[in-house]
Amino acid sequence: MDANGPSNTPGLPSPADLIAQQRKDAIEAAGQSSGENGLFAKLSSNPFFTAGFGLAGLGAGLSIAQKGFRHGAALLRRRMLVDVEINIKDDSYPWFLHWMTLYQQSQVSAARTAASRSGFMESLLQRMTPGMRHLSIQTQKVEHSNGAIHTHFSLVPGPGRHVLRYKNAFIFVNRQRESKSQDLHTGRPWETITLTTLYSHRHIFEELFTEAHAYAAKTHEGKTSIYNSWGAEWKLFGQPRRKRPLDSVVLDKGVKERIVDDVKDFIESGKWYHDRGIPYRRGYLFYGPPGTGKSSFIQALAGELDYDIAILNLSERGLTDDRLNHLLTIVPNRTLVLLEDVDAAFSNRRMQTDTDGYRGANVTFSGLLNALDGVASAEERIIFLTTNHVERLDEALVRPGRVDMTVRLGEVTRFQVGCLWDRFYGDMDPTGEYRRRFLNQLHELGLIEDENGKMPDQPKSTSAAALQGLFLYNKGNMEGAIAMAEGLTFSLHEEAAMENGPPFHPRFLQPPREVKSHRKHESPMLGITFSTNEMTGFGVEAPLLMSACVRAPVGQPARDGG
């Protein structure tokens, strides 16, 4: 073998392989040296960078988890929970607050006896249900029949979160008050109540609100609510009043029955009106002298029908045609609308300008007509108009369609006097002897007709209010009522000369003076006159109120206890 020839020794790398291997090792060594001394190596070896990078990653992960949890909770809430919102404008708002107050009180009482009378789980649930923690005070003034006013304080759920347990279902109550949002008319802040429970228990809301309405109806049972216009809506005016019995208002024979039958027939004839395309509304006009029972009968009629009353003053400051039409459109259900003294709404309008230049009500006559019987006027409505001067009303106002029945309530008749006597003295006069004496005396005074219906030659008039005032003053004293009957006289020509009923003149306000002869004195309010005896005494010239603040004439026996 040639010494200078290529070596072919088996197992030994060739020179070319050695050179390639050396180059590869050099490149790897250079790369390793560059990596150990590079930016990434320096950052990865820095503990602060490593900790910051870890915190950033943890924060990002938590943020993603939080968003996922929120979306999951919202999805779960939509699937499992149900909300009901009540705003302050809704009728159910005060109903629910009143119900929750009473219900929480009953729950407190139940929790006290749960440990001794219930099982362990029931007692535990009762104790786990927290009572109201955010409270508001509600003050109510109640007037009793004797005139005394008692003040009652009750604690109602205030703004905040509450929990109650109703029929084995937990309900979360959130009452919110928006301080920046207020009612423009009342100034009250906007409030909402949100009720939350499980979706599977959603049926209890209907039961809850039905029970709350039953509680509210029970508090108003046997009472008549009076509504008054407040801005663009109706507001409850004071506390509900006791229903006035229909027989407490005595009208002429057959008048009351005819009106009541007509109203009841209208209420029951809704389908008949709709089938014939006739607007389902009814209008009544009551006119006559003051004190004849116009407003009193409407109040008694509302009690008979179990209706409420909405009173609208056409002379109210700021009332416009649009607002009038709106108010008559949103009248509460089962409510009679009352427009009193409708003749005064458009008379002497120039004299209504105030010192600040404001002209008061801006209701026009055409606006009233359109509200009563226009294209946009409401249906299912019963409206009553009253006036003391029917001659001042325009024919367009009292035409059929706007006023369907016109009734005059005038001076008392023999029938009315007899009915009023029986109401006050019926149990004291079983034979009717005093009743006949009183009726005959009123006929002799020219106030009522005789038994045959014949009117006296010089008729005089008196009102049912004046007669009732006489009986109220002489409670249990029939002789006193008969003795003071002469004070009811008031001639018709004198009444016609007065624009607003009985006279009110400065001479009636003069101080009492000594009299020595038999003379008559008049009361400025109700036109009641009576006599003083010839003995020296003071004549009675003080105003007589309808509550019968009448002094007995000098020489007459005083009323029992008076």
State the CB neighbour count (10 A cutoff) for residue 371.
25
Look at 201 and 146; give whichever has higher pLDDT.
201
What the chain holds in terms of domains, given with CATH numbers, is 82-219 (no CATH), 241-408 (3.40.50.300), 414-538 (no CATH)
| 9-23, 48-62, 478-492, 494-508: segment of lowest average pLDDT | 494-508
Identify the pLDDT of residue 102: 83
Mean pLDDT over residues 347-355, rounded? 48
pLDDT at 433 over 50: yes
Identify the pLDDT of residue 281: 92
Instruction: List the alpha helices (DSSP H) in 92-147.
Output: 92-117, 120-128
Q: Which helix (H) or strand (E) holds 387?
A: strand 381-387
What distance in Å separates the CA atoms of residue 288 and residue 390, rounded to the nearest whole number? 8
Average pLDDT, the chain: 75
Residue 121 φ/ψ, nearest 5 degrees: -65, -40
Identify the pLDDT of residue 515: 32
Q: What are the residues whose beta carbons fall under 8 Å from the beta carbon of 165, sequence distance 6 or more?
A: 107, 125, 126, 129, 171
Q: Is the pTM of this model over 0.85?
A: no
pLDDT at 242 over 80: yes
- Calculate the dihedral angle through the C-alpha atoms of 158, 163, 168, 169, rounding to the nearest 10 degrees: 100
pLDDT at 470 over 60: yes
| 41-55, 132-146, 347-361, 368-382: segment of lowest average pLDDT | 347-361
Which one, of 544, 553, 405, 412, lies nearest residue 484 by Cα?
Answer: 553
Instruction: List the alpha helices (DSSP H) in 120-190.
Output: 120-128
Mean pLDDT over residues 349-373, rounded? 65
Mean pLDDT over residues 12-16, rounded? 72
Mean pLDDT over residues 520-548, rounded? 32
Look at 504 and 217; give whichever has higher pLDDT.
217
Identify the pLDDT of residue 421: 94
